[in-house]
Structure 1
């Protein structure tokens, strides 16, 4: 999960102050010191850290906090609000043109993931907003850049405009917009050339494209793994191109989070989107308040719901609920649900979105090993159709056959059977056996 180290450190720090009935100025100073160290270790710009800590200390020792009935909780509220403000305050949406097409120019250094991000953004606009984008291959220098975008277009079943690598990128951009108007594409996303380092030649070309096509948005694609360098790159691009927003890539990787927490404060440009995986669907709008909640271990229910809405079939979900109520949930249903959950992303990331999941018995400090899911799938797939429908018929010889067929042990098969029965009971409790009567279902800590 992105920000994992920072999240662990901050959650440990604020936990010390949360349950206090009374918070002294010294308590706040100690907490602020720990938060400061955590942010610096996460590679957050030191000036940004200094300003943030001063604001937190000023608010946390104020009358509103000190005299509240829950001062510890109020301090955490202050930290969350300040982190949210630091990352932009609220979601920044795309500026849509008065008349189609809306033109988006993608800029950034070579290797930041610009071409892949161009495809991901187009896919996001089509799936989330029912738009019809045209991708434009305007990087005529990097070997295979045009082919890469065309391959992405084929994968996504989306049009790609290219004129080869012997045409001026300015002319490519102009012609692309003409085609978009003729074909009624409502978005044009231009993948421009990058460099390993910022140079005048690159900037001149980008400035010519921008002044020529006057894009509605100029998105700077930044690799969040590069830490402080990302801030310097963003500052330079913004100074010369006046970018309108930032797209962070690799926010799911082993990143310390410094770029995401510093970039808005340094450039005064909002983070618009974030790449959170390698798949074309692993791309989401950036919500500062949700990210702040996740960093502080407060979950992110809205993002979890959005992922579920995108990846879980509504009709199947309703059928599943009926089966849960009737206690007729089978291993076939379980296998189907596992597939849908896996499409939502890494389990660790999903758990981070559930408020309080880290404090739940059995889940605290749990390592969610997705390899175990492979074993579970193998066991279920080694069962006959009748065994998946009626696990009660399992006897010793059947279990032995299943274990051998799945490359597991009889004890693993027994463990899965036991867990499955417990899960069925829990699901029936959660859905509630009597409609309309609150309190009959199982109340989990995060519900």
Structure 2
């Protein structure tokens, strides 16, 4: 029985990926904690803190299949402690010679925060892979539709012509910045926690700092300059990057959602045979992927606020902060992983209708070319005067139901523009500005 949609056999594919889910279920999390305990003991053995034989034994028994998780749950409830239940059960399965050396001098956050760093590394790897795919799909669209005109829109209304390649290049550049943020942040997030009772590492004496470095090396993580028991900025920054990245994917999803409305019909998601849009309206094809990307991002962004709240801690330990991360971090990671995976799928199958884009632009009857006309007039009359004239002519034409060319020719102040020049100014393909060149800049500067 599942109480969360991410764990549901019916709905889980919408809220998580199997790969991400495996990090957070009881088996995955407990195995990771056991791996951390084994790594700590190996590091301690290398420095003579514990016997090498004990480290070898603990390493062999650090296997979740040897641990009774039901008993771990019972002991956790009985003790009211986050990790003591696991330690008690592990000690029972260990040979007597190794029992006293497990969890030697460590505290709960040494294990759980190091696990958080491992999770951030694993999720980072997933996102780099999937977001790179989404970005590359956007780059391919930018290149293919570099000069394909469409109606640009501001405030939901027709503006100037742009190209679909320009729109896709904006997506690609933003996705690439998310990848840069992940790359830049990993050295800050992917670090172990090893502080002992209050972070001073007092238990290990003069071997404390060498132990910190060796423990980090055992796990392939960085060693922090100082333990971070109450410094939760690492987790907050990571979740913020997840939120920002998911928001970019949601923005792309929202644009696809809007552009595939039948009255626009400029793009559409790939249709999978057998997918049903409505039980009551058999004709419908709903925007399932693009719509759900917005939903997933809302979930991730909500966790970012909680993560920031966790930065306000008291003294040298405050469970109110880091225990909240046990709830928010899985939620953010699962939804972000699902968003990246579904975003990859959506853009990989996106269908673009260039002819519909052009028809929609032409349906505006020339008005989106008002800026080129104003620019040509500005060199003769001044920019602000040119704006007033074109504005008045356009508003009058819209009231009469005229097309833009007729509206301009009805105003004698625009007679300074000859017919040939006006035809050139009203040509859609000549009003794309630097859009194709800007696409080229993105393609040249983005490393795949």
TM-score range, shorter chain: under 0.3
What is the TM-score when the length of structure 1 is the normalising length?
0.23
Q: What's the TM-score, normalizing by structure 2?
A: 0.23
